[in-house]
Chain A
Amino acid sequence: MKTILELKGFSAWYDHHLALKEISLEVQDGEILGVIGPAGGGKSTLIRSLNRMNDLDPKFRADGTIRYRGIDLYRDPVDLAVLRRKLGMVFAVPVPLPGSIYQNLAFGPRLNGPGDGLDAQVEKCLRAAFLWEEVKDRLTLSAFSLSGGQQQRLCLARTLMLEPDVLLLDEPCSGLDPLSTAKIEEALQVLKKDVTVVLVTNNVMQASRCADRTAFFLQGRLVECGPTQQIFVNPREKTTRDYVSGRFG
């Protein structure tokens, strides 16, 4: 399998607070990598470092390397607009933009082009996010008229419109009901044929259901990373065993 993202000795700070300490980790092409760990462990910092969203925070500093398909994200010249399309991100809280469902889907493509003739792609992405049947008759309605779970699938579909290479999901189901969660997980299993997924989740069971491999983060350190089966059944570290069995966190 090919490595698509490679972190080597990557550390990150907010001001003087060390958020990630010397992380070395690889993400393989076409896999779903689950990232688990208690809150404040650096999961979000990690995922937001991958598409350089952290750059928006003036307090953020980073050291070490992250390579995406061989490109050193923090040293080589990188067009952030292009990078963030390649590594599409979905946030923990669904963020529909003001406007219709259709306008939300078209937002990405319209940034760089005329933005017409998108109908087929809109349908394809909404189907991929398991949302098409629910919204196909009301694409012109405000995106805020959708339920929370629908809004999150809308955000997923909106990100898919960018035709990303990697999907970065930052606790995408944290506020959703079990049914919406199931739909998103179902979508991911289909999507992984075409994209690589990094799935940060505060729900250990979600990682065990979805992820091919799982990484466990604790207090800014990568405790261990391995096949999901092994992490859950036979972890190397005691802290991992305690966490996945629900003894703390």
Chain B
Amino acid sequence: MARWIQIVAALFTGLTGLSCLLILAMVAIILGDIVIHGWPSLSWTFLSSAPSADLGGGGVFPAIFGTVALVLLMTVAVVPLGVAAAVYLHEYAPQDSPVVYFVRLALQNLAGVPAIVFGLFGLGLFVRFAGGGLDAIFFGGRLTFGQPCILWAALTLAILTLPTVVVATEESLRAVPRSYREAAYAMGATRWQVTWRVVLPQSVGGMLTGAILAVSRGAGEVAPILFTGAAYYLKDLPSKLNDQFMELGYHVYVLTTQSPDVEKTKPLLYSTVLVLLLVTFALNLVAVLIRSRIRRRLRST
């Protein structure tokens, strides 16, 4: 009997361990494959030059630039909005109100919407409705904002990543002890003062975690920017909010599907994917560094 139990226990330990190993193995295979094939053709020229017009050669600099600009714009849009929404949900709204219920429901649904739907939604709301409206009102109908561009793409991505930021921020607000709030209220603080002086400083780390997750998610998405601003090929870098841009993920897609000679673009493709991973990693690293710096400063005061 005891022997039987020992065998089952060993079996389960083995199974659970194997699952973990599988995860490691998959990550290692993916990363290994990309690095091995992508590394040889990765060069300074590749990073700093534009692709050739037939997409058969050249570099990816415009796509790197576009990706970074897109993600920064998205972060600037999504963090304030997400944090404000989370603060309202957690600090202000009565917890049993139907409004809160429906907002949470909406957020959960938003998180489950396929990315391509966001792309079409962005095209409809931002490009046609908002952009078209702006053109009609301020530019005398001249096509200015009523076209796919980096601003609309960034806002579309911001909506896609909004649930991430709200959930992470709410999590960090929840982690602030109730006793802090009570102590502040007992000293005659208003709700605004409790939120601003006690709760928010304690949850900055969590908000930035939300931003980091949003960056990771946003930097890799192609579908939402397909119709809202990403371009197939551009000679020039975007310099205004209503310019189109190249993006690494989209560039990978274009290289895969549009090249007449697959074998010729293969090394290029591998290198581009490697660059996409590196850029995402670098953006994350920057956010993590900012977060640890802020945390250190908070701790020292």
Contacts and interface: CB of A to CB of B under 8 A. Distances in A.
A210 B12 CA distance: 63
A98 B186 contact: no
Interface in B147-193: 177, 179-190, 193
Interface stretch (A32-40, A78-86, A233-241): A78-86
A111 B187 contact: yes
Counting chain A CB atoms within 10 Å of each CB, which of B95, B183, B186, B201 scores highest? B186
A107 B197 CA distance: 9
A58 B93 CA distance: 12
B185 A95 contact: no
A167 to B, nearest CB: 11
B182 A95 contact: yes
B96 interface: yes
A84 B201 contact: no
Contacts of A93: 179
Contacts of A58: 94-96
Contacts of B198: 97
B202 interface: yes
B200 to A, nearest CB: 12
B19 interface: no
B301 interface: yes
Contacts of A201: none
Given A58-B95, A111-B193, A98 B202 contact: yes
B187 A158 contact: yes
Interface in A57-112: 58, 80-85, 88-89, 91, 93, 95, 97-100, 103, 107-108, 111-112
A159 interface: yes
Interface residues of A, number: 28
A97 B180 contact: yes
Interface in B266-289: none
> Taking each of B184, B185, B188, which has the highest tally of chain A beta carbons within 10 Å of its own beta carbon?
B188
Interface in B202-217: 202
B22 to A, nearest CB: 43
Contact of B182 (A91, A98, A107): A91
Nearest to A104: B183
B223 to A, nearest CB: 42
Nearest to B198: A97
B243 to A, nearest CB: 45
A83 B189 CA distance: 11
B99 to A, nearest CB: 15
A100 B301 contact: yes
Interface in A117-158: 155, 158
Contact of A111 (B181, B188, B201, B298): B188
Given A58-B95, A111-B193, A85 B187 contact: yes
A97 B182 CA distance: 11
Contact of A84 (B180, B181, B185): B185
B188 A53 contact: no
Given A58-B94, A58-B95, A97 B188 contact: no
B188 A82 contact: yes
Of residues B96, B181, B197, B298, which shows the largest number of chain A Cβ atoms within 10 Å of its Cβ?
B197
B185 A97 contact: no
A95 B177 CA distance: 10
Given A91-B179, A95-B179, A100-B301, A56 B202 contact: no
Interface of A: 51, 53, 56, 58, 80-85, 88-89, 91, 93, 95, 97-100, 103, 107-108, 111-112, 155, 158-159, 162
6 contacts: A56-B185, A58-B95, A83-B188, A91-B183, A95-B177, A98-B201
